Amino acid sequence: MIREHHGEETAPTLEIQSTEQPAFEPAAHGGVARPGQPKFARGTLIDRYVLLEHVGAGAMGVVYGAYDPELDRKIALKFLKSHDRDYKARARLIREAQALARLAHPNVVTVYDVGTFGDEVFVAMEYVHGVTLRQWLTARRRDWRDIVAVFGAIGCGLAAAHDAGLVHRDLKPENIMIGVDDRVRVMDFGLARAAVGESREDLAAPPPDQPVELTRTGTLLGTPAYMAPEQWEGLEADARTDQFAFCVALWEALYGSRPFCGETPSALLLAITRGDITPPRDGRRAPPWLRRLLERGLAVDPAARWPSMTVLLAELTRDHQAPKRRLGVLFFGLLALAAAALAARRIDQRREAAEAARLESEERAARADEDRKKAESIARNQEIWRLSTIGAHERDALALALAALAPFAPGFDDAPQVVIDALAGAMQAMLPVATIPIQEQSPRAVELSDDGTLLAVQFAGEVELWSTDPVLQVASVPTGAVNHAFVRISPGNRYIVVRDDDSCTVHASDGGARTVQVPHCHDLVFARDDSRFFVLKAHTGPIDRHTFTLLFDAVSAYRPDDGRLLWSTPLAARGAALALDPGDGRLVLATDQLAPIFLAADTGAALSPLVWRDLPAWNESWASRRDPASLAVSPDGRYIALAHPSAAEGALVFDTRRQRVERLPHLARTVLFSADGRRLLTANNDDEHTMVFHAAADLDSGGWEQSQRIVGKLHDATRDDELLLVGTDIRLSETPNLRQSTPPISSVHGEHLSTSRGGTRFAIISSGVTLWESADPLEVGRWTPPLGQQVVRFDEREVSTRDADGVVRLHDRRGERPPLVLPEPDLPGERSFAWSVDGGIWREPAANSKNRGLIRFYDEWGRKRYSRGYLPGGGRQTVAPAARAARIAAANPDGSVDIIEPPESTPLCTIAGDGTRVREVRISSEGTYVGVLHDSGELAIWSTPWCKRELAAFPFTMPDQILTSLISFLGSELFVIRDDNRTSVLDPETGLERCLAIDTCPGAEARKGFSIISSDGRFLLTSCRSRDNLEEVRLWEVDSGSQLANIDFSAYSGVAYNPAPRSPGLEEAALLEFAHSGEFLVARTQKGQLAVLSVPALEEQLRLHTRSAADDFRLRSDDRFIDVLDAESGAIHTYPVTRAGLVEAACRALARTDIAGQVASECGQLSAAPVP
């Protein structure tokens, strides 16, 4: 580090007086402290200058760092040493300082001001950051040219001072500064003699044995080694005196030693006055002309020196080699030509060496910087992974991951895998949307409106209302002190309800005015339009030795705007629960009777009771207490669920359409329908087990099927999922694999968690109030079949469903046309599906149908135009429709095959048989080629529409026990044949075999394997095992026939963790699928999730942590998204399947939270891709 230097005398200046013994002058003389001892304290005000620190001291004075407040700059403040209080000396000192202040030259230190402070004279000068000439010379060995350049600047400063009538008198390397800006400055002009303040007559010679380096106070001023002879003799100094010191300093700088040597002042004086110059030890360090120049400047007689510094500088900077160059041009011409090549080579070598050294240095610096950045990146990535695995910190992980991935946009191919894995893992979690700023008092209850747009937070004496998008307080409703933690929002968000003891108070949400207070309020339900509300009134009383039995008095209806009573129906029951049927506007009342009671919502009149079938008898063990525990009505009003302790063995579900009662095998105290009506949840609060039931697909026959048991206390439902509160964890009933940790909830009290029935948000009370999103962040789209319909086939354009009656419907996923209902429901044992092609609609029986039935063709309006049945007793596939064309290949009993284009029934052509029946027929997706396999083992490929034979494959025997297809056009126009462990890929266009892949399959496993080919025909995947029990798989390149990979695929089998058979209708669904581009492969993992593997390396690049199991999936044509079917819920979820899509999904998820601004920059770098 460069030391700061401010112009103080760091080398000793000798002042010799006539006394015999040298001594420092006491501090009291002249008022200046001894060297190294500051006189003034920090903060002292000198004139307008504020002292900052003591910098140093020398024989000529003391230097302080100071601050000039008027010009807002730091300066050096030097107090000049004076030996008495001679006012003439002080005046002379001030005049010379003022003269120096008028001198403006870049190589002379700038003097700003001069003044007095008491008896002291100070000089305010430039604060120079840099090193002395002495330090510059000793730092490293300098070239003589560099030294001459520096001394040229020194000479320019001296020449300018001499022109202004100033003489330095004490020039030496310590009085020369080289700043950090590389500018040379001469310090302390003319101040030395003025500081002494004594006449020439008083000067005396030094003692003969005085050491040269000793600094003393006296009348002879200067540094002995640099003093000219006239200074030793006490004569007046002039510009030539400075020239002498200049040459001494330059000699010392060039040769490393001074020109005059002497151990004592007398010896040094003798050498200087005689002109005895000591020759340099190495005269080659400078050219001879430079030595001659210095010897003249060191002459004893001042008249023999250079006339002025200007003349000396002219000679110093003159090109002394020019005459020699002119004389030697002719002589050295040929020699220069001969040496030019060698010199150029040497120059190139030096340049190359210098460049190599520079490059090596830069490489080392770059490697060090790269190592540092790599270490920081690793630490950051590890932190992202850690946060992604900690509950309630997934949002933080997403934000950090987006920042880490931004430099890798738009493809993210080179992004760190650990960050991608952390991003994918965090994307399965529920995310906090915002934190509600609350008062210092603690919140008691929260309530989220049905549509999720309004949040009520109850405090001891008021309720705050907040909008959720954006998060903003919109109102404050004073409620007064209430005892109950209870607040409700009406469906239309116009009113809020608070409860105090046994009364309910209704307030307007816009102004907070109280509209009505209802006493004896046990339960309160609003109409959907907020036009009225219904109250179940009750009081407590002693019955059957129970002191506080709840006795219900009446059901009443009120207008919320003015509190007017509309009607009141008396009620004589020991226990009751109230619900509003959303279907036809009737009230449902559960009492101590087993069956529910219905009241007209308009009048309160009792409706005719329904006659229920299969109504169970009372459980006598509960006969003494018949109070209903919970009541729920499905969104369509068809089902009423009742948790009644008196009901035998479990909760009851009343089907109002069939007037039938179903008893569920779960003793429950809480019942809740999902917002879509597909699921019914029952919970036993004692053991905190929640049972999930799914509505049967057969709505006419009704019924609820047990789906799963979850350890968790049931709380509430959002639009898509039900929230289960387990300690401080929240789960979703539809996706029980997801266990979401949240900030610690204050208690398990129900009022500390609230959901939006019409949305996907929920609010919790922890240390504050936090708003959460229960929607799947990874999901970019969802298609849900109508209730009672099951998905049989789907792609990105349409979905084929089937209901319990066998009615097949074709749904347009884009919603551009209504569902098309196909005539002729499936026969018993038949399961068919439909899909659209150009010109019509195909309908084909599923492969696992017990009754194969017919293959039918319909026009676009659903009218049947053609049908064809399978051959009786024929092979596995005797009729094959094209996947994307209105063309079909159908086998005849004589072994021939008809090629037909519906709706025309006349064949385009017929393929002749060989006398044996057709075992299997396949047609390519466009209907261009047809493959026919006969029982004779002959396999041939034909082109349409002329039935031209393109090639015949080798004959082989078709084993009867093999259930998988052996011949197929899989994903391309190439024909794939699998015979035991051999897979052939044939090109019908050329008639050549493109690839032959042979698996090493032990024993019978050869007949269990499968082969699939990518859509572009580049890659072939084979295995000895079945698709749902993978082990070893092999990847082949079709064009070369070479094996690219052979890896263990058991991690992508659905058997290890889920030994149960797959969902009905999905037994043959593929677990593997190539991307249309052939660049990656999607596989289902053991836990029903999805993994994206690179091709051809088959390395996992991305794992999609889908909340629901992937029972079937289809990649979309652009390979950016994948449609995943959850057979249990029937929903088709759309997820991104690329890294870019995953990042875009994370940006969309965080855009709905209060940290959207933090990731706006990173997300703005991503291309805005349309979401399906």
Is the pLDDT at 867 greater than 70? The verdict is: yes
Rounded mean pLDDT, 715-736: 62
pTM for the whole structure:
0.66
Q: Which two tokens stand for residue 905?
A: 């029934």
| CA of residue 472 relative to chain centroid, distance | 27
Is the pLDDT at 296 greater than 80? The verdict is: yes
Q: Are 791 and 1132 in contact (CB under 8 A)?
A: yes
Per-residue pLDDT reduced to its tens digit, 201-238: 343 344 444 433 333 333 456 788 899 999 888 888 89
State the pLDDT confidence band at 621, using cuts at 50, 70 and 90. low
């006598």: which residue's tokens? 620
Q: Are 29 and 48 in contact (CB under 8 A)?
A: no
Q: Which two tokens stand for residue 608?
A: 């005719």
> What 3-state class would DSSP assign to 518?
strand
How far is it, in rounded angstroms, from Cα 409 to Cα 871?
56
Which has more confidence, 193 or 169?
169
Q: Are 675 and 718 in contact (CB under 8 A)?
A: yes
Which has more confidence, 35 or 844?
844
In 3-state terms, the chain is what percent helix, strand and coil (to 5)?
20, 35, 45
DSSP string, 1060-1125: SPPPTT-TT--SEEE-TTSSEEEEE-TTS-EEEEETTT--EEEEE--SS--SEEEE-TTSSEEEEE
Per-residue pLDDT reduced to its tens digit, 582-597: 876 799 988 878 888 8
Give backbone dihedrals phi and psi of 1089, rounded to 5 degrees, phi first.
Answer: -95, -175
Rounded mean pLDDT, 382-398: 87
Per-residue pLDDT reduced to its tens digit, 452-495: 899 999 888 889 999 988 888 888 888 888 877 888 999 999 99
Give backbone dihedrals phi and psi of 57, rounded to 5 degrees, phi first.
Answer: -145, 150
What does the pLDDT read at residue 743? 53
Is the pLDDT at 792 greater than 80? The verdict is: yes
What does the pLDDT read at residue 6? 38
What does the pLDDT read at residue 1116? 92
Is the pLDDT at 1055 greater than 90? The verdict is: no
Give the lowest-confidence range in 57-66, 744-753, 854-863, 1118-1127.
744-753
How far is it, in rounded angstroms, from Cα 341 to Cα 336?
9
- CA distances for 1035 relative to 978, 1042, 1094, angstroms: 15, 9, 11
Rounded mean pLDDT, 714-727: 62
Most confident option among 614-618, 659-663, 1060-1064, 1119-1123:
1119-1123
What does the pLDDT read at residue 1012? 84
Rounded mean pLDDT, 935-945: 85
Element (H, E) at 135: helix 133-139
Per-residue pLDDT reduced to its tens digit, 303-354: 999 999 999 999 888 887 766 666 655 556 666 666 777 777 788 888 888 8
């209901």: which residue's tokens? 803
In the Cβ-directed half-sphere of 721, how many Cα atoms lie within 13 Å?
22
State the pLDDT confidence band at 294, using cuts at 50, 70 and 90. very high
State the pLDDT confidence band at 847, using cuts at 50, 70 and 90. low
Element (H, E) at 244: helix 239-255
**Is the alpha carbon torsion for 1151, 1152, 1155, 1157 positive or negative?**
positive
What does the pLDDT read at residue 725? 59
What does the pLDDT read at residue 1065? 42
What does the pLDDT read at residue 625? 56
Which has more confidence, 370 or 552?
370
Catalytically annotated residue among 170, 720, 776, 1126: 170
Give the lowest-confidence range in 726-740, 789-803, 826-840.
726-740
What does the pLDDT read at residue 801? 92
Q: What percent of the chain has pLDDT over 70?
A: 79
């009901």: which residue's tokens? 647
Q: Are 214 and 12 in contact (CB under 8 A)?
A: yes
> Which structural domains are found in the chain, ordered by start?
14-317 (1.10.510.10), 432-519+744-774 (2.130.10.10), 966-1130 (2.40.128.630)
Q: Is the peptide bond before 818 cis (omega within 30 degrees of 0)?
A: no
State the pLDDT confidence band at 361, using cuts at 50, 70 and 90. confident
What does the pLDDT read at residue 908? 92
What does the pLDDT read at residue 580? 87
Rounded mean pLDDT, 962-988: 71
Is the pLDDT at 43 greater than 50? The verdict is: yes
Which has more confidence, 582 or 646?
582
Give the lowest-confidence range in 92-96, 155-159, 536-540.
92-96
How far is it, in rounded angstroms, from Cα 901 to Cα 857?
10
Is the pLDDT at 525 greater than 70? The verdict is: yes
Give the lowest-confidence range in 40-44, 254-258, 1020-1024, 1056-1060.
1056-1060
What does the pLDDT read at residue 323? 63
> What 3-state class would DSSP assign to 281?
coil
Is the pLDDT at 17 greater than 90? The verdict is: no
Which has more confidence, 625 or 1047?
1047
What does the pLDDT read at residue 983? 85
Per-residue pLDDT reduced to its tens digit, 622-635: 545 566 778 889 88
User: What is the rounded average pLDDT for all residues in the chain?
Assistant: 79
State the pLDDT confidence band at 27, using cuts at 50, 70 and 90. very low
Is the pLDDT at 920 greater than 60? The verdict is: yes
Q: Is 412 left (phi over 0), alpha (psi -120 to 50) or beta?
A: left
Which has more confidence, 60 or 577?
577
Q: Which two tokens stand for residue 314?
A: 């002219």
Give the lowest-confidence range in 502-516, 739-753, 837-851.
739-753
- CA distances for 744 relative to 725, 890, 1162, angstroms: 12, 66, 31
Rounded mean pLDDT, 996-1015: 75
- CA distances for 584 relative to 522, 576, 609, angstroms: 24, 21, 16
What does the pLDDT read at residue 715? 66
170 in active site: yes
Is the pLDDT at 694 greater than 50? The verdict is: yes
78 is in an annotated binding site: yes
In 901-1052, DSSP assigns E strands to 909-911, 918-923, 929-934, 939-943, 948-953, 967-968, 975-979, 982-987, 992-998, 1010-1013, 1019-1023, 1032-1037, 1043-1048
Is the pLDDT at 247 greater than 90? The verdict is: yes
- Judged on CB neighbours under 10 Å (0-12, 13-18, 19+), 961 is exposed
